[in-house]
A and B are shown apart, each in its own frame.
Chain A
Amino acid sequence: MSAIRKVGVCGAAGTMGAGIAIVSARAGFHTVCYDVDADGLGRAASQTASFFARSVERGRMTEEAREAALAKLAPVTELDGLGECDLVIEAVFEDLPAKQALFRALDPVCKDGTVFASNTSTLSITQIASGCGREDRVVGMHFCLPAQLMKLIEMSPGLNTSEEVFDAAWAWTEAAGQTPVRTQDRPGFILNALLVPFNNDAIRAVEAGGPPPPPISTPRSRRRWVTGWDRWS
């Protein structure tokens, strides 16, 4: 059971942030959507409403659940709006100074117990946490794109993350209907550590005169990409 009740998402006007906010609100958590881009937040809210409407049309969600999820979402353009959140997930640019600056700015705003989570896919959680003032309360929480459709979350503690905080964040991901896996705080975690070199090898094979891309990789649907090693091996 998650002790987390209220969740903040930073960068909520972006694709990842908006998706994470959908995951949170759909699971019944009050979700504060923070972004400096008010217009972007408006566009994200519209896309979120469309996503929930399609979910109802496809029988994946009841009308009541749709209304309840939408009611859980609160857009804000000031950091102060995140003050009462139990968990704040950042999904801002993949830029170390930007993420560090955000957590430093959040520290005096948020209550003492708030857990900070980073959706980084390549940066060190320990580095992101450094200097934020609550290094023991920062975890890696890497969602997959599109977050509202993909169940996997790569969870990684930084060097200074307390087990209690990690466990609380882990419990929240499960309460949100996701499937967490634990990894070390290493560049690329599991997925990108394996996938990026694979993609590079495939590109080099084509450049070296191999077959054209379709036999190597074929997109089957928006949610499912099956590449050569799984189609045939």
Chain B
Amino acid sequence: MTMTYAIRRNGESRSFPDGEPFLAAAAPDGEVVVLLGAPCEPDPSKTAILVELGSECLGVHTGEAAGEEGSNVLGFARYRNGDDPPSALVELVRQPNTEARALEAARAIFEAAGLTVVVSADRVGRIVDRLVRPKYNAALRLLDDGLARAEDMDLACRLGLGYPDGPIERAMRGGLAHHHAVSSALFAASGQPGDAPARAASVAAARAEGR
């Protein structure tokens, strides 16, 4: 499926910063509309409307209808660990009654750009953050508890699990304040103890806020 897309932009995009080829390939009258910070307006004439998400749910932009919501509007976010460059992964967010045609169109434009698409239900943290943020919190808590040195925890994960880097160095590189923001959103939605920001993240966030 070949699809054209238009971009409506308002400010910086975490998924597609300036210079991304995806931006240059847009067409003003595309069949799909990609909203990068621009407000979401219903437009049934379009095949799909894609809303770039932060930590929030798509329902914040579309409204919800007791689990029956869904239209041609989808959410998306390209995964980024803090200020690391965006990864090749696009998390596409659908609602229970999202139109199949819209979903396939969204998948098509991102895959045509060389990105890898996974589809998630409309939940805070989607897939990756929902899985990794509790692990970063756990690793930071284990570090506080004196289980091992940060270097050894990271080395253990690299050698023992085949990871390119460990949880502590990854959380640090992405920024503990950023980790705090995402974890806080997860915790507010889930109430799960593992989602609660670890102490070190709370300290970093407080410093970032000048407290």
Contacts and interface: CB of A to CB of B under 8 A. Distances in A.
A150 B157 CA distance: 12
Interface stretch (A56-64, A78-86, A194-202): A194-202
Interface in A201-233: 201-202, 205, 208-211, 215-216, 220, 223-233
Nearest to B139: A194
Interface stretch (B43-51, B105-113, B120-128): B120-128
A183 interface: yes
A230 B170 CA distance: 9
Interface residues of B, number: 39
Contact of A210 (B120, B146, B153, B170): B120
Contact of A183 (B121, B147, B162): B147
A210 B127 contact: yes
A186 B142 CA distance: 10
Q: Is the interface of A mostly helix, strand, loop or mixed?
A: mixed
Given A152-B159, A228-B132, A211 B147 contact: no
Interface string A150-183: 1110100000000000000000000000010111
B153 A190 contact: yes
A20 to B, nearest CB: 15
A1 interface: no
What is the size category of the interface that chain A forms with chain B?
Answer: 35 or more
A202 B152 contact: no
A74 interface: no
Interface in B124-178: 127-128, 130-132, 134-135, 138-139, 142, 145-149, 152-153, 155-157, 159-165, 167, 170
A184 B143 CA distance: 11
A70 interface: no
A227 B142 contact: no
A113 to B, nearest CB: 28
8 contacts: A181-B155, A184-B146, A191-B156, A191-B160, A201-B134, A210-B121, A211-B120, A232-B89
Interface of B: 79, 81, 87-89, 118-121, 127-128, 130-132, 134-135, 138-139, 142, 145-149, 152-153, 155-157, 159-165, 167, 170, 194
Interface of A: 144, 150-152, 154, 179, 181-184, 186, 189-191, 193-195, 197-198, 201-202, 205, 208-211, 215-216, 220, 223-233
